Structure 1
Amino acid sequence: MMDALRQQLAQPAQAALAGGKRNSNKPRRSLLPWSVLLLASLAGLALAAMCVGESSVPLAKVWAWLSGTPDATLDVLLGELRLPRFACAAGAGAALALSGYLLQLLCRNPLAGPDLLGVNEAALLALLLGLGLQALLQWPLAALGAGCALLLLFALIVLPAARAGQAVPRERLVLAGIALGALLRALAELWQARQDLAHAMNLAAWSMGSLQGRDATAAWRLLGGLGALLLCLLPWRADLKLYACLPQQAATLGVRQLRLEAKILLCAALAAALALALASPLAFIALAAPALARRLHAGHSLRLCLLCGALLGAAADTLGRWLPLCLPSWLGLQGMDIPAGLICQISAGPLLLWLLLRRDAAHTK
């Protein structure tokens, strides 16, 4: 009965946060057009990603291949190379969007992300320690590293506050995460300096966020792990809404706040680790996807956040393959891919300035 009450209260609370006296069903209905638009944009981007490359493929041939026309060359080029790479880029973007969404919800800060809590650095160090292992073992290693980082933060910051009956000190949590991330980054760079040339080259490609060579197996692992995380979040949907919209009253409405915050930390770490096992963090996606979702829909919509993250990740990778074909030859970029991570880093500066200026403008009002 308490679960039903929480579900009924979560909808009006979300509507109140989104804009006062509007009907609570209206924001839910307004999600549909944006969801359809983002899905259509993602489908169009998938077609563009299959067409664009050093060996361009006309759209008519791509459409014929998707319709079932046999073509051995396109089976390799599209089915084994470009389509799995697109799925990896979109899946990594969605995973980072999920991680950013959960951490921003926990920290009440639109600038929070997995890089502020040492998650990225912990997963990187775990991957470096596991160099030479099979690709199948790198996924649990990244998840183990990220989980250990958040477990340490939970034990040092969250648990003492809970035992004292206090709210989670979010500023201390972020500061401790930054300090832990700096320490782990130093250890990772020290370990990286000891690697041979072959491993160093692979690490350089990984650190730039390159998705080149990612196959269907990697895509299925990533999408399967992301689907499992979303299934785990489904039973907590009403609690998450209450925690997002009424954080002070959530405990009185039956939300076990400490347990929920531990689940948020764990899911955020695992989501970031899923993306990190493929490439270095496409850092700006964890910030941009929740901000863009809030811009499209006033409220906390995980669905829009995931779609925005998938679209941004796929767009960064596709843009990195398309730009060298359009830029002047004297730049020397012909025949190469600009890693998606570099595209994201170029975009991160303007995005951060925009978020800060918007926040300052909101405070002045």
Structure 2
Amino acid sequence: MEKIRIEKSACLKEKPGKDNPLTFGTIFTDHMFEVDYEEGKGWYDPRVVPYHKLELDPSSMVFHYGQEMFEGLKAYKAEDGRVLLFRPDKNIERANRSNRRLCMPEIPEDLFLEGLKTVVSVDQDWIPTKPGTSLYIRPFMIATDPFLGVRPSNTYKFMIILSPVGAYYASGLDPVKIWIEDEYVRAVKGGIGEAKTGGNYVASLASQVKAHDEGYSQVLWLDGVQRKYIEEVGAMNIFFKINGVVITPELNGSILPGVTRDSVIALCKKWGVAVEERKISVDEVVSAARSGAMEECFGTGTAAVISPVGELRFEEDRMSVGGGRIGELTQKLYDSITGIQLGKAEGPKGWVVEV
């Protein structure tokens, strides 16, 4: 692998004060990682450089045909000063799965991981340490060929930017309200629903605006064919605890395979909690919520980690979950995963990588 060169910024930004609230995804650090790709040449010139604006030809293919991939993970600072990443191998694996689906070149695992470690190490002073905060890491790739025509690009740019963040939801760990969508469709099996790409998210915006206008935090999607089975929330995977069993929709080609989702399933199995990955219909969810059989409901994702759900709405039905309070298992999962991420608790082998 070509050695990563480092160019330090001559003009460092002012860091946010310790008591200032960190609004998610609005502040960016001094540096970024960047590497280029050319067909026949491969990846070349990996570098950490000052955070900068991009200069792209207006005909760059990313603008016209949507060839782009992004990922999301976090860095944490342990009490002993170590800088930790949570399961970066799973993000690298998912990124390359997305790349294959989008006809983009795979990124060598060692290059991806070394790029992550290097840029986080350079900007580690930006990692906030207040409870509930972290350094959000956004790797992404774009097609850069200046060409108008539908085909895979021959050139790409892969970058990693960093952002100190607080809670994804302003309410923190307070239960959120979720709108079950019955009009729009996000993705279908055989499409790109399981790839982490902007097209999946722009498809969700109309419904999300509608839900926000009604006072709901996120949209829960039904399958795009039968409009019957639960899939995922806009920014999260979803779990239901019904009669003591934790149920989450099975991965079917239109659901993003979340890293936190995988972690929750692993921990539940380790604790002896019954877990099922299967189809679950909206009728089953509504029935469980109405009867009180639904004990807990929560979303999982890198940004929010664990997000308890206190209310579900489907059509005109508003269903309270757990009395609108965070459930015991939900709280235990949040405490366990964040404890592992911060180096306070021992996790399964390989879950934490030191920078």
> TM-score, structure 2 length as denominator?
0.26
> TM-score, structure 1 length as denominator?
0.25
Give the structure with the higher percent strand.
Answer: 2
Q: Which has the higher contact order (CA 8 A, sep 6+)?
A: 1
